[in-house]
Amino acid sequence: MLLDLPPAVEGRIIRRVNRFVVEVVVGGLVERAYINNTGRLSELLVTGRKCYCLPKSGGSTNLRLIAVDDGVGAALIDTAIQMKAFEKAVEAGALPWAPCSIISRNPRLGRSVLDYLMDCRGEPVYVELKSAVLRDGFYAAYPDCPTARGRRHVIELAEYAGRGGKSLIVFIAALQGVRAFRPYERGDPEMPNLLRKAASAGVEIRAISMHYDPASSLVVLDNPDLPVIL
C-alpha cells in the first residue's frame, strides 16, 4: 500500500467539458468534476463509464475525478496522486533501482521544468514522471496524443545525459494487469524513437505499475520494476 485516500464516490462519465473539467452523474445529479490529467484519455472518458471521485472544496467544482473503470480495474488517472504514490515508494525504499531522496520539486533544466531533482547514491539526478494510463493489450502505453511538452522533456534529458549528467524517466502505469510498458506510436509517432535515443544517450528509463482499489480507496504498488520495451 502506497496511499490511503478518503472514500470515493462512484459516478458515471457524461463528457469532458475542457482540459480541467468533466461532467459526471453522481447520485442522480449532474456534477462538474476537476480532472488533473492533460492527456486526451478518450479511451477512458467515455459516456456511461463508471468513475470514482473525491470530494473537493473551493473553485468551480465540488468533485475531483481520480479514477475510471477500464473493464479490468480502476485506472488511476490523477497525476498528482500518481506523483504522491511515487514519492511514497521512493521514501519507503520500495523501488530497488531508486536508492534516492528528493532534493527539490519542479527543477528547471534548459527550457523545461521537470518533476524532481533527486540525490541517488550521492549524485544529482533529474527525474521526470509520465502517466501511462492507456491500455494497449497487456501493455501500459504513453502518450495517447501528440505531446510537444513530452518530446521536449525527453530531448532535454537526453542532452543532459550526453553531457555526462544523470537523468531518469519513470512511466507510471496506473493500471491493473499490465505486463510491461511501451511507447504508443499511434499517440505520438516521434516518441518511441526519441525514447530509444534518450536511452542510448544514457537516460535511465523505468516503469512502475500501481492501481487504485475503489473498495478500500487504497493506491497499491503492483510491480516496482515493470519491464520497459522500447
Cα(216)–Cα(8) distance, rounded to whole angstroms? 9
Buried b (16+ CB within 10 A) or exposed e, 113-133: ebbbbbebeeeebbbbbbbbb
Q: Is the pLDDT of residue 182 over 90?
A: yes
Fold of the domain spanning 3-76: OB fold (Dihydrolipoamide Acetyltransferase, E2P) (2.40.50)
Predicted confidence (pLDDT) per residue in 190-207, tens digit: 999 999 999 999 999 999
Q: Would you say 227 and 209 are in contact if contact means Cβ atoms under 8 Å apart? A: no
CATH 2.40.50.580 intervals, the chain: 3-76
Counting residues of the chain whose pLDDT is more than 70, the rounded percentage is 100
Q: Please state the pTM of the whole predicted model.
A: 0.96
Nine-digit cell at 107?
Answer: 527543477
H or E stretch at 195: helix 191-201
Positive or negative, the CA dihedral 44, 12, 86, 222 is: negative
Residues 87 and 101: their CA atoms lie apart, in Å, by 9
Is it the case that residue 59 has pLDDT exceeding 90? no
Give the pLDDT mean for 107-135: 97
Q: What confidence tens digit (pLDDT) does each residue in 2-24 have?
A: 999 999 999 999 999 999 999 99
Q: Which residues fall within 8 angstroms of residue 148, CB to CB, at 6 or more apart?
A: none
Rounded CA-CA distance 208/205 in Å is 11
The fold adopted by the segment(s) 79-223 is Trna Endonuclease; Chain: A, domain 1 (3.40.1350)
For residue 225, the Cα-to-chain-centroid distance in whole angstroms is: 15
